[in-house]
Amino acid sequence: MNIDEAKLNAFMGSFVHDLGAVMHAATIVVGDRLGLYKALAVEPSTPEALATRTGTDARYVREWLSAQAASGYVRYEADTGRFSLDDEQAFALTVEGGPAFIPGAFEIAVAQFKAIPQMIEAFRSGQGLGWHEHDAALFHGTERFFRPGYAANLVANWIPSLDGIEAKLLAGASVADIGCGHGASTLIMAEAFPASRFVGFDYHEPSIGHATDAAQRAGLGDRVQFAVASAKTFPGNDYDFVAMFDCLHDMGDPVGASSHIRSALKPDGTWMIVEPFAHDHLEENLNPVGRIFYSASTFICTPASRSQEVGLCLGAQAGEARIRDVVRQGGFDHFRRATETPFNLVYEARRH
**Closest C-alpha among 175, 330, 184, 187 to residue 251:** 330
pLDDT at 47: 98
Complete edge-to-edge strand list for the sheet that includes strand 239-245: 224-228, 197-202, 174-178, 239-245, 265-276, 344-350, 334-340
pLDDT at 208: 98
Q: If pLDDT is split at 50, 70 and 90, which confidence band does 97 have?
A: confident
Provide mean pLDDT across the span 130-146. Answer: 95
Provide mean pLDDT across the span 117-124. Answer: 97
Identify the bridge partners of residue 200 per DSSP, sorted by sequence position.
177, 226
pLDDT tens figures, 6-16:
999 999 999 99
pLDDT at 41: 98
Residue 126's region, left for phi above 0, alpha for psi from -120 to 50, else beta, is left
pLDDT at 77: 97
Q: Alpha carbon of 75 to those of 71, 83, 88, 90: distances in Å? A: 10, 5, 11, 11
Q: For the structural domain made of 149-350, what CATH number should be given?
A: 3.40.50.150
pLDDT at 221: 86
CA 132 to chain centre: 16
Report the SS3 class of residue 320. Answer: helix
Q: If pLDDT is split at 50, 70 and 90, which confidence band does 162 have?
A: very high
pLDDT at 183: 97
Q: Containing H/E element for 74?
A: none
Judged against a pLDDT cut of 90, whether residue 66 lies above it is answered with yes
What secondary structure letter does DSSP report for 228? E
Q: Return d(Cα 344, Cα 81) in angstroms, integer.
A: 42
pLDDT at 262: 98
184 touches 245 (CB < 8 A): no
Q: Return d(Cα 20, Cα 341) in angstroms, integer.
A: 28
Three-state SS string over 252-293 comes to CCHHHHHHHHHHHEEEEEEEEEEEECCCCCHHHHCCHHHHHH
pLDDT at 325: 98
Q: Alpha carbon of 193 to those of 11, 151, 166, 280, 306: distances in Å? A: 51, 14, 9, 34, 36
What secondary structure letter does DSSP report for 157? I
Judged against a pLDDT cut of 90, whether residue 185 lies above it is answered with yes
**Domain-by-domain residue ranges, the chain?**
5-93, 149-350
Q: If pLDDT is split at 50, 70 and 90, which confidence band does 352 have?
A: confident
pLDDT tens figures, 277-325:
999 999 999 999 999 999 999 999 999 999 999 999 999 999 999 999 9
pLDDT at 279: 98
Q: If pLDDT is split at 50, 70 and 90, which confidence band does 158 have?
A: very high
Q: Return d(Cα 39, Cα 36) in angstroms, integer.
A: 5
pTM of the model: 0.94
Provide mean pLDDT across the span 190-216. Answer: 97
What secondary structure letter does DSSP report for 333? S
Q: Alpha carbon of 305 to those of 39, 41, 77, 216, 292: distances in Å? A: 41, 41, 49, 31, 18
pLDDT tens figures, 21-54:
999 999 999 999 999 999 999 999 999 999 999 9
Find all residues with CB under 8 Å of 300, minimum gap 6, and list them: 108, 112, 131, 134, 138, 250, 316
5-93 is classed in which CATH architecture?
Answer: Orthogonal Bundle (1.10)
